């Protein structure tokens, strides 16, 4: 690379530095975060040899945003450098540990000048894949928000209203169930629950969507809610009921966001050409498949081998060795690792081969999570192969028994 560019990203402005192969500063500039600033950046690059046939590569600490999107749309290679790596590179040039935005832009430009081969440009994913990533990550965030809202409400109810928790303790969704939220909306305190009539409670259960055994469920809930239990003082209980309504509103909003984003994500994912291959794998439905695609993208040159993909996902082991110390652990991509755990768990019942592989790992001494991670690691390699060769999952090939040696087969 003859010329490299570094951009120190900030909220309302960006510092730019351009250097040549001898580390000479060719130009520096502070641009605004708008269209005029982007034009100034392009002008600086053109003045220093940028052309459509040989665009100047750019290093920046951010991987998303309007500036990055415009740079990628212009056909330039954009390298997203981890801020921790930039801090360590900075120590190579400045012993005093001083820091400035202009200096960081220069450090970023020099990173590409000296170690471009050690860093990867942002993947060339399609617009459809990037749109799926936006929705899939937003839906996953909404699920985490819903879990936090549920836990806050549950913790609050334990302080004054244990009957409502007992009423839905056997339900899989607990307070996330529509029946639980419908009853809390009309009876946020034990006093109001005790005054509920059978007809009003039955109407709430029906409104929540129950279609079978409505009368039996109504009678069961009445028995639990009218049971004598410990109570807070009346004034305190009323105040806590108002807090419950506020927490319930947050939980309802989180549940609606999860459902709406899941529907939009699945609809968009099914339009992608990789969707048919991804959902052919056991344990991967439209939503979990969209999360997988969101993290690995559809740029097939991003991961040259299955090993690269496994390392990125955090499912492959990592050895840290120094002297007599040796420790084997694993990386962690929080979103992909979370989805991989669900994928591997669902595959246990959907694929005999996956279940047999999991059992073998447990027999060798792996604990539950380690065995699931190893199963995810294997199936991730299979997914890489299928996407590369454009073929669907085949159980007989994916988990074929190992071939016997010739002498063993003859025996």
pLDDT per residue as tens digits for the range 5-27 = 999 988 888 999 999 988 888 98
Enumerate the domain spans of the chain.
3-122, 132-267, 276-320+328-398
User: What's the confidence (pLDDT) of residue 322?
Assistant: 73
Phi (first) and psi of residue 72, to 5 degrees? -70, -35
Order of all β-strands in the sheet with 25-32: 25-32, 13-20, 3-9, 58-60, 78-80
> Does the structure show a pLDDT above 50 at 152?
yes
Domain 3-122 matching CATH 3.30.420.10: the answer reads yes
Which of the 8 DSSP states describes residue 176?
Answer: G
> Does the structure show a pLDDT above 90 at 39?
yes
Span 16-42, average pLDDT: 90
Q: Which of 232, 227, 234, 243 is nearest to 184 (CA)?
A: 243
User: What's the confidence (pLDDT) of residue 410?
Assistant: 44
Winning range, highest mean pLDDT, from 17-31, 245-259, 333-347: 245-259
Span 384-390, average pLDDT: 94
Query: Tokens 């108002």 identify what position?
Result: 242
User: What's the confidence (pLDDT) of residue 319?
Assistant: 74
- pLDDT confidence of 96, banded at 50, 70, 90? low
CA distances from 57 to 39, 60, 87, 336 (A): 17, 10, 20, 28
Phi (first) and psi of residue 174, to 5 degrees? 55, -125
Q: Map residue 374 onto helix, strand or coil.
A: helix
**Whether 250 contacts 243, CB under 8 Å:** no
User: What's the confidence (pLDDT) of residue 335?
Assistant: 86
Question: Between vectors from CA 315 to CA 313 and to CA 317, what angle results, nearest 5°?
Answer: 125
Beta strands 3-9 and 13-20, pairing class:
antiparallel
User: What's the confidence (pLDDT) of residue 211?
Assistant: 87
1 vs 279, which has greater pLDDT? 279
Q: What pLDDT, in 10s, does the model give residues 225-244?
A: 888 888 899 999 999 999 99
Span 353-382, average pLDDT: 92
- pLDDT confidence of 408, banded at 50, 70, 90? very low
């Amino acid at each position: 690379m003859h010329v490299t560019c570094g951009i120190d990203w900030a909220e309302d402005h960006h510092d730019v530095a351009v250097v040549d192969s001898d580390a000479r500063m060719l130009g520096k500039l502070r641009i605004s975060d708008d269209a005029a600033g982007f034009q100034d950046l392009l002008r600086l690059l053109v003045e220093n040899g940028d052309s459509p046939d040989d665009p100047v590569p750019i290093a920046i600490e951010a991987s998303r945003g309007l500036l990055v999107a415009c740079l990628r749309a212009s056909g330039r290679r954009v390298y997203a450098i981890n801020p921790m790596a930039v801090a360590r590179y900075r120590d190579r040039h400045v012993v005093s540990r001083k820091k400035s935005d202009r200096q960081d832009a220069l450090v970023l430009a020099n990173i590409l000048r000296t170690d471009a081969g050690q860093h990867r440009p942002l993947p060339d994913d399609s617009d459809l894949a990037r749109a799926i990533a936006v929705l899939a990550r937003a839906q996953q965030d909404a699920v985490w928000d819903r879990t936090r809202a549920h836990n806050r409400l549950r913790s609050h109810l334990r302080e004054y209203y244990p009957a409502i928790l007992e009423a839905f303790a056997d339900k899989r969704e607990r307070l996330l169930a529509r029946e639980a939220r419908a009853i809390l909306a009309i009876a946020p305190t034990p006093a109001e629950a005790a005054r509920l009539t059978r007809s009003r409670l039955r109407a709430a259960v029906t409104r929540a969507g129950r279609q079978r055994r409505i009368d039996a469920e109504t009678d069961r809930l009445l028995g639990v809610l009218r049971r004598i239990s410990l109570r807070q003082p009346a004034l305190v209980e009323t105040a806590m009921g108002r807090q419950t309504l506020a927490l319930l509103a947050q939980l309802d909003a989180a549940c609606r966001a999860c459902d709406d984003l899941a529907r939009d994500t699945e609809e968009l994912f099914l339009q992608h050409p990789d969707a048919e291959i991804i959902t052919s794998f056991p344990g991967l439905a439209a939503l979990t498949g969209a999360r997988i695609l969101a993290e690995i993208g559809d740029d097939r040159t991003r991961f040259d081998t299955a090993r690269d993909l496994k390392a990125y996902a955090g499912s492959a082991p990592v050895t840290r060795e120094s002297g007599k110390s040796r420790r084997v652990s694993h990386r962690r991509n929080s979103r992909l690792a979370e989805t991989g755990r669900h994928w591997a768990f669902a595959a246990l019942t959907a694929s005999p081969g996956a279940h047999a592989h999991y059992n073998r790992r447990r027999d060798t001494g792996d604990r539950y999570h380690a065995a699931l991670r190893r199963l995810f690691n294997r199936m991730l390699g299979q997914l890489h192969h299928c996407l590369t060769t454009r073929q669907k999952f085949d159980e007989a090939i994916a988990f074929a028994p190992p071939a016997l040696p010739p002498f063993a087969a003859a025996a």
